[in-house]
Structure 1
Amino acid sequence: MESRKKGSELNSKKTEVMVISRKQESPKCDIFINKVKLKQTEKFKYLGTIISNDDKTNREISARTAQAKINFQKMKTILTNKYISIETRKRALQCYIEPVLMYGCEAWTISKQIQNKLEATEMWFLRRMLQIP
C-alpha cells in the first residue's frame, strides 16, 4: 500500500461506506480493508452538511432549520427588542441567522415543497422578531 509508505493510515473501525443510488433500496456493497468489512451507511455528516444516499435534501434542510431556530432563540433579546430599529434587527437576522439556515444551499435540490418550507421558516423568524403571534 502506497499510502502506508507515506505514513497515512485508514482506521477501518471509523470508516464507513455509502452507495448513492436512485433506486428505492440501496444496493449492498461489501468493501474490506485489512480483512475488516466496512459498515454501510445511508447518511453521514461532512463539513457540517448531511449527505444521504437518496440525494434528498429534506434531512439537511430540517437540520438547518432547527439549528437556525436555536440560534434565533439565543439572540431573541436582541432580535425582539422594540428599542432597536427594525432595520437593525433585520440586518442582525441576515448576518447571524440566515447563514446558518442557508449553509450549503448551493448543493440542495429545491422542490416546491422545500421552497415553501424555507419561506415558512423565514416568516417564523419575522413574526417572532415583530412579536406577532
Structure 2
Amino acid sequence: MKTILTNKHISIETRKRALQCYIEPVLMYGYEAWTISKQIQNKLEAREMWFLRRMLRIPWTTKKTNERVLNEANKRRSLIRTIRKRQATFLDHVMRRGKLEHLVTTGKFEGKRSRGRQREKIMDGLATWLGPGKVSDILAAVKDRDLWRDMIATLTSKALDDDDD
C-alpha cells in the first residue's frame, strides 16, 4: 500500500480513504476484546500519526508537531475514538444477550484468582472511558438501549471536543 499512500498523483482524500478502508481494519483486528491501557493507546495514536506522516511524505526528522500534521491532512485523530465506540456497542450486544459472554465480561464466574497484579478487565477500561460512574451504572444503562446510545453519542462528541482543545 506504500505506493498508493505516498503517490502524489492521487488526491489526499482518496489516500485517506484507502488508509481508512484497507489499513485501519487490519490494525484494529479483534479490538472488541482489547483492554486499552494508556501504553497501548499511545502506541495506536503514534501508529496513526506515522501513517499520516508517510502519506504526506513528512520525514520523522522534520520537527513538525502532530497538530500541524493533522491540520495539513485536514483530519482528526479517530482511531481510539472508533475503537472505544465499537467496544461500547459490542458490550451493549453482549450484555443484552445474557449468555456466557455476559458472565465472562462482568467477571461473575467461579474460580481462583491468579497470583500477582490482576489484569485490567474490559469493564475497567470502559468504566474509565465512560466516566466516573460505577460499573453497575453502566450495566443498568445497557439495559435501556436509548439511554445507552445517548450516553455513547455524548461521550464520542465530548471526545471530539477534547481533541480540538
Q: TM-score, normalised by structure 2?
A: 0.35
Q: TM-score, normalised by structure 1?
A: 0.44
Larger % of strand: which? 1
Larger % of helix: which? 2
Specify which structure has the bigger relative contact order, considering alpha-carbon pairs within 8 angstroms and separated by 6 or more residues: 2
